[in-house]
Structures are given as C-alpha cells and as structure tokens.
C-alpha cells in the first residue's frame, strides 16, 4: 500500500501558478493553515481559490496570490467580517470573484464530486447572485412543471487542501469535531487532494479515536498526507484545540496598517516551516 | 425574586421577534444574533413548544439554554451540521432570522456589500451568505436594531429578494417565498398588504407613527389603527432576564 506522507513544501511543489485550488474547512474552522502558509511563502501566484472563506482567503488575497475567488462568505466567525478580505474588496484589488449563496456553493462542490456539469437549485433566483454573476445560467426542468432553476456549475479544481484531526499514511481521514463541513465533497472534487492532519495514526487505531461515522475521507480521493500538529492554528480544530482568539485578533488588527501586516507576515506567516511556526507558538505560550 | 421593573426596548423587540414564530409548529427556528436567539428560545419556552432550535453550532437541543451557555449540558435531540442545515433550507421546514443593513419597501434586503460598485464596494459586508436560498425556500424574518439607518429607498445589492422582485418571476419560482416580519427598534412590520409593501404592524411603546415614518426613506403602509407592540408577560420577563440572558447581552445590540 502506498505511503502518501509528504511535507507541506512537497505539496506546494505539486502546485502551479494559475491553478484552481479548493480549501476545506469553514470560516475560521479547521482550515489547513500550514499548507496555506506554505503557499504564501512560495512563488505561486495567479491562483483561483474556492473556499468557505476564512483567514485562508484573507491571507492569500491580501498577499496578492489570487486572480479569482469563489466563495459564499469570508468570515473569521468570532470576527464576522474578515478584515483583510474586506480591505482587498474595498480597494478594488479583486475584480474577479464569484460570490454565491452558501448552500448553492455546496451544490457546486457536489456537482464536481459527482462529475456532472451542474446541480439545479432555486437559490439565486431574484437575487444579485444571478445578476452579478452573468456566467451563471439557468435550466428549465424537462418535466411537466417546466420550472426554471439556477444551474450551479461544477467547481472543477486542480488541487484541494484539507485539514483533518486524524489520518493514516494511506490517506484515510477522520474528523473528530462537531462538523465535517464539506470536506468529503472537496476531497472528491479535487483532481488532486492533499490532506494535513493533527496526527497520523495506524489504521487500526481509528475506531479508538471516534465512531465509524467520523471516517469520512476515503483514501481513494487523497493523494498526499501531511502530518501537521496544530496545522489548523489559529483556526479551531476541536476536540484537539479551540480557536486562538488572541492570535486571530492580532492577525485581524494588521489589516488596518500595511507595516503591521508586513511585520505579522514576516513574524508568523512566512516562517520557513511549520516546525518553526510551532516552535515560535510554544515560545509565545510560555511568554 | 423576579425582576418586575418595566420592560426594556430590547425585551420588547425580543417579544416582537418571538411573535414572528407564532403558528410555525414543527420547524427549525434559526435565528442569527443574540436578540433573535433569545426570541426563538422564548417562543419555544412559551407559546410555540414544537419549534426545533440549535445550539448555534451543530446540534438541535432541547431545553432552555442561556445565551453563551455550555451546550454540552443540553439534551441533544438531533444533529444539524451545516450540510443538514442546507438540506433543511431546501426542504422548507425552517424559519430564519437575519439582519438587514439595507431593506426597502418591498423587503428587498442587502447584507452583501454597500456602495454603487459591487466589484469595488464602499463596504464589503457578509456577502450572499444564505440569503438567496433562504428567501426563496422558506419563511424569513429580519431583525434591524437601527431602523433609521436600514430602511432605504433602494438597496445597493439584492441578497434577499423582496416581494416585488419575486412578483416579477414565474409563479412557481416564488411559491415558498415569505417575508414574515421585520422587527426594528421602533416597531414591528409585516407584508400583509395587497401590493407587497411593508406595513406597520405595531409600534413600540412611546413611538409615534410620525417618528417611525421619519426613520424610513420609503413610505410605510398603514392600514387602520396601529396597535402598540405587546409587552412581555411576567413569565417572559423572567425567562429573558433570569434564564436566557442573565448577563444582559441583549442590550448591546443597539448602537
């Protein structure tokens, strides 16, 4: 059986500028932040990010890494509006984006996972979601009712990045928190899927960690596994850890001041490795 | 001893929002933000016992959980991760309460972005979030803490379509659309009108029709005598003050 273990930098070496990259999690919850930081310190650019957006979108758009973003929202949860993303939008620095109803976004993931061109929904009819996204099309029901529905296009993605609580070296993933979000669909929708996890464990230990229903990411849809303890920091990753609210507030505050943002990037986001980040976090915890 | 001092504005708004759920029966009541969450829990604890409510994370829970209370103390009756919430939206068994930084006479709502240019907004707000899907699938109520700021002549971007927008679409499209109520710091409004415009349903104690009109950029529809918004009963006052919100979070929404 293939051993799919990789490092963050090895994952990023598989990515290319211009790619469409999906990022799992939700808002400031269980985001693959060690992989996002690896993208930040790489020379990748011109990316199209597809995400239930949180600091992943805030960081990558503020750093000028993105050509386009597809999202339903971009939020830090306890800070409802992602300040870096707001600054980018309000500065007109992201002219190309698709803002969707957050349920419609689920259908775009599902269509890609199921390899159909679209899924229909009523969501969007009568709202700016349609009028502001002229690329969105409607379909007419082929059945007697003839109802017109929005066709949410499949989110075809070159690569997907996820973070799980546990994984095995073969690429099976396990979530132990209250919500999987849409990570299984992301995994199936990505042409390549890279999954970080708090801990890589022997396959036979999965059911000691949680019930069978938590085994939601099958290895058939995973190409690489990265062991990254604290890999979702500063977003939450329960039950392993909650959100680091103090750290998130610091991050958010830097959106007001380009110098503070540059400093924060240098101090935290552009460290040479996840190990260096963790070491610095530990130091901070002791301070 | 129960605190029987006069009802505050926040408490009157909570009761007006709770009233929006009257008659809903067995649906998922999904309020967003402290005042609406208290209202949903209050409605279930009193006159609408069959409502289903979440802990605002991923579980549907029984009982009277206080704001910010530990949901692990509550009895879980069902699992409601986000995927199930969306399925619930599309199935229609849901009544949501959302905010509306901008709302117009027909109930078109905007919480996505402010400004003329959606590609470069003056203020990026929440984005579309769930508004397009919510409005077109099930009942929606809006909670607006500052009416004067939010009642606009026209919204910059339609995130939640209003009655005139829906009327312009094929009938089948809008058949599940219902804006049940709009509750503000001045009164409660509904759309029980022949032309789909917003009607004054009740005004909070001490608020005159002139004041309500002055705090609106569009003409408010009035049909007959406008009653005063109902005050909380003793039981409701007790539940709000002692059970759901002992720390007074509800008062922080008016700025």
Could you read off the pLDDT of A111-134 as tens digits, one per residue?
A: 999 999 999 999 999 999 999 999
User: How confident is the prediction for chain A on average, in pLDDT?
Assistant: 97
A133 vs B: CB within 8 A:
no
Separation of alpha carbons A185 and A113, rounded Å:
6
Residues A62-113: pLDDT tens digits?
A: 999 999 999 999 999 999 999 999 999 999 999 899 999 999 999 999 999 9
- Cβ-based interface (< 8 Å): residues of B facing A: 57-59, 81-83, 86, 89-90, 112-113, 117-133, 135-137, 157-161, 165-166, 168-170, 172-174, 176
User: Given A81, A90, A101, which is nearest B122 (Cβ)?
Assistant: A90
Task: Calculate mean pLDDT across residues A178-185.
Answer: 98
Pick B6 or A168 by higher pLDDT: A168
Separation of alpha carbons B4 and B16, rounded Å:
19
Task: Calculate mean pLDDT across residues B134-151.
Answer: 98
Look at residue A57 and give its three-state secondary structure. helix
Any bridge partners for residue A122, and if so which? none
Q: What is the DSSP string of B22-39?
A: TT--SSEEEE-SHHHHHH
CB contact under 8 A, A92 and B166: no
Chain A residues whose CB is inside 8 A of the B76 CB are none
Chain A residues whose CB is inside 8 A of the B137 CB are 122-123
Residues A252-284: pLDDT tens digits?
A: 999 999 999 999 999 999 999 999 999 999 999
Q: Which of B80, B83, B49 is nearest to B63 (CA)?
A: B49
Q: In this model, does residue A181 exceed pLDDT 90?
A: yes
3-state helix, strand, coil in chain B (%, to 5): 30, 20, 50
A138 vs B: CB within 8 A:
no
User: Given A92, A106, A127, which is nearest B160 (Cβ)?
Assistant: A127
Confidence of residue B1 (pLDDT cuts 50, 70, 90): very low
Chain B residues whose CB is inside 8 A of the A73 CB are 126-129
Q: Hey, what CATH topology would domain B9-253 get?
A: Glutaconate Coenzyme A-transferase (3.40.1080)
Pairing of strands A137-140, A148-153: antiparallel
Say which CATH superfamily domain A5-102+155-202+214-286 falls into.
Answer: Glutaconate Coenzyme A-transferase (3.40.1080.10)
Q: What is the ipTM of this complex?
A: 0.95
Can you give the pTM of this predicted structure? 0.96
Look at residue B89 and give its three-state secondary structure. helix
User: Given B120, B125, B170, which is nearest A148 (Cβ)?
Assistant: B170
Predicted confidence at residue A144, as pLDDT, reads 85
Predicted confidence at residue B73, as pLDDT, reads 82
CB contact under 8 A, B157 and A132: yes
Q: In this model, does residue B76 exceed pLDDT 70?
A: yes
Angle at A182 between CA A176 and CA A183, to 5 degrees: 60
Q: In this model, does residue B79 exceed pLDDT 50?
A: yes
| Domain boundaries for CATH 3.40.1080.10 within chain A | 5-102+155-202+214-286
Confidence of residue B4 (pLDDT cuts 50, 70, 90): low
């Amino acid at each position: 059986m293939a051993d799919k273990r990789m490092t963050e930098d090895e994952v990023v070496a598989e990515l290319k500028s211009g790619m469409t990259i999906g990022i799992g999690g939700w808002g400031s919850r269980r985001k693959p932040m060690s992989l996002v930081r690896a993208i930040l310190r790489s020379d990748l650019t011109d990316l199209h990010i597809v995400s239930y957006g949180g600091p992943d979108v805030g960081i990558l758009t503020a750093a000028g890494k993105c050509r386009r973003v597809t999202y339903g929202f971009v939020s830090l949860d306890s800070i409802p509006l992602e300040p870096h993303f707001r600054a980018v939008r309000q500065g007109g620095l992201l002219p190309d984006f698709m803002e969707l109803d957050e349920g419609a976004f689920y259908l775009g993931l599902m269509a890609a996972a199921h390899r159909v061109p679209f899924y229909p929904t009523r969501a969007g009819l009568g709202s700016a979601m349609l009028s502001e996204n002229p690329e969105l099309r409607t379909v007419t029901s082929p059945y007697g009712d003839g109802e017109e529905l929005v066709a949410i296009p499949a989110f075809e993605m070159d690569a997907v990045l996820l973070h799980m609580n546990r994984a095995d070296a073969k690429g099976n993933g396990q979530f132990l928190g209250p919500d999987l979000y849409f990570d299984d669909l992301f995994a199936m929708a990505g042409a390549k899927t890279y999954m970080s996890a708090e801990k890589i464990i022997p396959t036979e230990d999965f059911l000691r960690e949680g019930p069978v229903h938590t085994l939601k990411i099958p290895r058939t849809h995973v190409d690489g596994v990265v062991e990254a303890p604290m890999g979702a920091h500063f977003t939450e990753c329960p039950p392993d850890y909650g959100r680091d609210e103090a750290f998130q507030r610091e991050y958010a505050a830097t959106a007001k001041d380009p110098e503070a943002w540059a400093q924060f990037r240098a101090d935290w986001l552009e460290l040479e490795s996840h190990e260096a980040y963790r070491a610095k976090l530990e130091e901070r915890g002791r301070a | 001893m129960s605190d029987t001092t006069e009802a505050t504005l926040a408490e009157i708004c909570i009761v007006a929002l709770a009233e929006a759920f009257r008659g809903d029966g067995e649906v998922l009541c999904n309020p967003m933000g402290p005042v609406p969450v208290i209202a949903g829990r209050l409605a279930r604890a009193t006159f609408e016992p069959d409502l289903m409510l979440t802990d605002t994370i991923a579980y549907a829970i029984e009982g009277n959980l206080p704001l910010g209370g530990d949901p692990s103390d509550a009895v879980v009756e069902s699992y409601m991760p986000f995927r199930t919430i969306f399925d619930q939206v599309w199935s229609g068994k849901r009544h949501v309460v959302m905010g509306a930084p901008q709302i117009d006479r027909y109930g078109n709502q905007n919480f996505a972005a402010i400004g003329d240019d959606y590609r470069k907004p003056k203020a990026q707000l929440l984005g579309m979030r769930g508004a397009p899907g919510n409005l077109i699938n099930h009942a929606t109520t809006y909670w607006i803490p500052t009416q004067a700021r939010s009642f606009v002549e026209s919204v910059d971007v339609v995130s939640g379509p209003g009655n005139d927008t829906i009327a312009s679409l094929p009938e089948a499209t809008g058949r599940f659309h219902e804006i049940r109520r709009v509750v503000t710091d001045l009164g409660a409004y509904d759309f029980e009108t022949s032309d789909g415009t917003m009607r004054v349903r009740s005004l909070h104690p001490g608020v005159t029709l002139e004041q309500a009109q002055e705090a609106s950029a569009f003409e408010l529809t009035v049909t007959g005598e406008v009653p005063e918004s109902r005050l909380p009963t003793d039981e409701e006052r007790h539940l709000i003050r002692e059970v759901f919100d002992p720390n007074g979070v509800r008062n922080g929404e008016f700025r």
